[in-house]
Structure 1
Amino acid sequence: MDTAPLSALPAAQAATHLTVEPSILYFGTPVVLLSTENGDGSFNLAPMSSAWALGQTVVLGLGGDGQTAHNLAARPELVINLPTADQWPAVERLAPLTGRDPVPATKAEGCRFEPDKFGAAGLTAEPSHLVRPPRVAECPLQLEARAARVRPDVTGEFVIVEAAVRRVHADARIVVPGTDHIDPGAWAPLLYSFRHYFGLGPELGHSYRTRTPRGPAGPAV
């Protein structure tokens, strides 16, 4: 029997809760591609989905055994590339790859070493302005940054990175003309929810703090 989406259920039906123990808590977070520098001067590219921004700082959660965590501990420069929803196949091509050789035992079964992550994903490396790792040319939003703090999380399995953003590059098509504002109606980020990929649905409304309120004619400039 088909299950109706939660938003379509009467309030009384939607109020029943179960106590569950999910193996993961990716309840809906943006996907980013992190480019970092390897010890030999080559570059690594890795997908991840534990990222959030506070002001000009982006906080990242990484597996402690991954190449990205090792790179940032020694070489703090990175680029935080944000793909669009329709770029999920490229992200998934990266998912079973690692820049670590040999492959760490903590990696999922089927994971393999790949030195050319950009090529394997079908993506293009584009020079950055202020950091050594390249940007992903196909990503419409690219944040050049430097890891200001890298530390283990409370479990010891993961690494928490606080990255200070130094420069933002945005595709002109997602910028409100004549401003520095990203147009939320034009920007379509890729989201990761319980290991499934999603895009955004139609806009429901906006915060009272927005600088780009949208009306019938589009965002105000």
Structure 2
Amino acid sequence: MTASTVADLQNEHLSISPSVLYFGAPVVLVVTRNEDGSPNITPMSSAWALGSRVVLGLSSASQGAANLRRERECTLNFASADLWSKVEKIARGTGKDPVPAFKQAMGFGYMADKFDAGGFTQVPSQRLRTPRIAECPLQFEASLVTIHGEEADPSPASQQALIIECEVVRVHAHHRIVVPGTNHIDTRRWNPLYYVFRHYFGDARDLGRNFRAEA
């Protein structure tokens, strides 16, 4: 490759300053329990898994973070692409009452029952008191391990980006997306909902298998 070719390739890219860095991750509906025992749903897409741990990125001012801090458990419900409109119905809602000023400025409002607002169905968990979302084909029951990022100002009024580490204690998958007779997800049938630069995406295409793929 010549120097001029490298220069041409380099010049094809622009240096930009996007307002958000949500480059694309699966939508997770985090269910937690409020102080009165009622469930709250926190839609989010800042999550990743390693081994049996899942790491969540949540605002310290969110109701979901407050509930997790107190109850130390949650369910992680992975929406399929066909659920995007239900997710959007609760996107403007927050379980915080009163609504924090910064959320009001972004157009959020108090939403007491997000299950009803989104048309979701509660089903009980097996290891936790926190319910799952029946419509989501893949569901994790998880317990809190630790929260990073609260050291500077742990007060409920502060707004910080928290890194929340959870341990998955039970996994549920709809029979349609499980390879029969195995514990493997059938990736041809599992169509997760992705959140990409504040747009919803689905209908992922299988391009091939990694050498470590088991199914």
Q: Is TM (by shorter chain) over 0.5?
A: yes
Distance 2:54 2:109 in 1: 28
The 10-residue stretch of structure 1 (106-115 or 77-86) with the greater mean CA deviation from structure 2: 106-115
Query: Which of 95, 99, 105 does residue 103 from structure 1 map onto?
Result: 99
2:120 is equivalent to residue 117 of structure 1: no
1:84 to 1:154, Cα distance in 2 relative to 1, 3 A? farther
Q: Tell me the alpha carbon deviations over residues 25-71 of structure 1, each in whole angstroms, 9 at most, x when there is no partner.
A: 11111100010011111111110010111011110000111100111
The 10-residue stretch of structure 1 (106-115 or 50-59) with the greater mean CA deviation from structure 2: 106-115
The SS at the match of 1:210 is: coil
User: Gaps (5+ residues) in structure 1?
Assistant: 1-11, 213-221
Q: Which residue of 1 aligns with 2:155?
A: none
Distance 2:138 2:66 in 1: 25
Q: Which has the higher contact order (CA 8 A, sep 6+)?
A: 2
Deviation for aligned residue 1:21: 1.0
Aligned identity (percent) is 51
1:154 to 1:54, Cα distance in 2 relative to 1, 3 A? farther
Q: Which amino acid aligns with 1:52?
A: W
1:203 to 1:153, Cα distance in 2 relative to 1, 3 A? farther
2:179 is equivalent to residue 176 of structure 1: yes
Q: Which amino acid aligns with 1:139?
A: C
Answer yes or no: is the 8 Å Cα contact 1:58–1:164 preserved in 2: yes
Q: What is the TM-score of this pair, normalised by structure 1? A: 0.87
Q: Which residue of 1 aligns with 2:53?
A: 57
Q: Which amino acid aligns with 2:212?
A: R
- Pairs aligned (count): 201
Distance 2:141 2:204 in 1: 28
Query: Which of 190, 195, 205 does residue 193 from structure 2 map onto?
Result: 190
2:21 is equivalent to residue 25 of structure 1: yes
Q: What is the TM-score of this pair, normalised by structure 2? A: 0.89
Q: Which runs of structure 1 show a deviation greater than 2 angstroms over 4 or more consecutive aligned residues?
A: 12-15, 153-156
